Amino acid sequence: MLTGKKILLIISGGIAAYKSLALIRLLKKSGADVRCILTNGGSQFVTPLSVAALSEEHVFTDLWSLKDESEMGHIRLSREADLILIAPASANLMAQMAHGLAEDLASTTLLASNRPIMICPAMNPMMWAHKATQDNLQTLIKRDVTIIGPADGDMACGEFGTGRMSEPEDILSAVKNYFESNKPLAGKHAIVTSGPTFEPLDPVRFIGNRSSGKQGHAIATALIDMGASVTYITGPTALPAPLGAKTVHVETAKEMLSVTQDALPADICVCAAAVSDWRSDAIATQKLKKTKSEDSLTLTLVKNPDILHTLSTHKNRPTLVIGFAAETQNLDDNAKAKLSSKQCDWIIGNNVGENNVFGSDQNKITLFKRDNQKEFEIADKTTIARDIADEIIHYFKIQK
């Protein structure tokens, strides 16, 4: 969950520093890269060697270390992190931060940084309650520093009260939540339809198509990765449910429409399903039999509801409605015509004739918007899904 996230952990002076060793392990186990600064006070409680061993990184302790400065430098140290986490944050370090002091490596790095900061205060309850600390706290809150804890309980000094550093597991959850809620599509609900629909003719036969559902699946996954909550509505495919999606399995277009409408409201809807345009007007209750006298069978098909059009014109219309145009010829004209007939915002056109797209892992798309179009390089469906997710993120940034 924290894979690839760079966390700069500052360990300042306090008995709670021992808990930071467990915190390093938890962060590393969740996939984060952890680099540590140990203050002078911090190193009275834990050794640079234990911190280095657990973080598997060099530990930074000294502002004036020629070697450290030439290799990394406190400016780079302050800018490379996705998050600066201070645990424990002593009353002294909080005061230094609030007043913009740059006295040692930790405070100088913090002053030189433009990165988000999360602090886990730990101190004696009287120190925590002191007006000076509380004023400093308010200053830090105003500067958007995230505060975790402190918790109530018995203190190492024998007193009872508020001042214990939050438990490493709770700090880990706060860090995870921080990255979740900072994802670009956090708070957005996306509906993704995917796969084919199967329209029954009788109890054993159906009209279907060759859609593998791979592109819709990849789009659902990309949107989840960007923080959206995704309702994934899929016809029959061989794919597993995307991790983290609310998945609903359907067979027919009518079922897909009903489930899609039930999933509203939504901010985003991506209709990637290859919905059958037709269904049998009367589903035989028994298996249709061959008769000796007839060489042909006539089926009467009726039009299926158009899910994309229904959503585009719905009173609860999602803010951004995206459809697909899988065409074997005249992609440009057909995609543009679809954009206006379906009344959606974007059409993702792909030439299914040329690139053998159905079932393949590759796709080549052109994104048609109302006023422009953009062609993407041929790529695997996961990359295409990320490209589409990036376009969606960009759309909502501009909307804001």
What gap in Å lies between CA 12 and CA 88, rounded to an integer? 6
DSSP 323-354: EEEEESS-HHHHHHHHHHHHT-SEEEEEETTT
Judge contact between 170 and 27, C-beta under 8 A.
Answer: no
- Minimum distance of ligand C5P from residue 271's CB (angstroms): 4
The amino acid present at 360, given as its one-letter code, is: S
Q: How far is the CB of 365 from ligand C5P (least distance, A)?
A: 12
Direct distance between the N- and C-terminal alpha carbons of the chain, in angstroms, rounded to an integer: 28
Q: Which of 120, 157, 269, 271 is catalytic?
A: 157
**Dihedral sign for Cα atoms in the order 33, 39, 44, 45:** negative
Whether 382 and 214 have beta carbons less than 8 Å apart is answered as no
Q: Is 247 helix (H, G, I), strand (E, B) or coil?
A: strand
The pair of three-digit structure tokens given for residue 22, joined into one six-digit string:
């467990």
Distances (CA, A) of 170 to 34, 118, 161, 190: 17, 13, 19, 29
Instruction: By CB under 6 A, name the binding residues for ligand C5P.
Output: 193, 253, 271, 273, 275, 277, 304, 306-308, 323-325, 338
Using DSSP's 3-state secondary structure scheme, residue 245 falls into coil
367 beta partners: 348, 374
Report the SS3 class of residue 50: helix
DSSP assignments along 163-185, one per residue: EEPPPHHHHHHHHHHHHHHTSTT
Does the annotation count 157 as an active-site position? yes
Six token digits for residue 51: 């911190």
Cis amide leading into 150 (omega within 30):
yes
Contacting residues for 68 by C-beta, under 8 A, at least 6 apart = 58, 60, 61, 62
CB of 301 to ligand C5P, least distance (A): 13
- Any idea which residues carry the catalytic annotation? 157
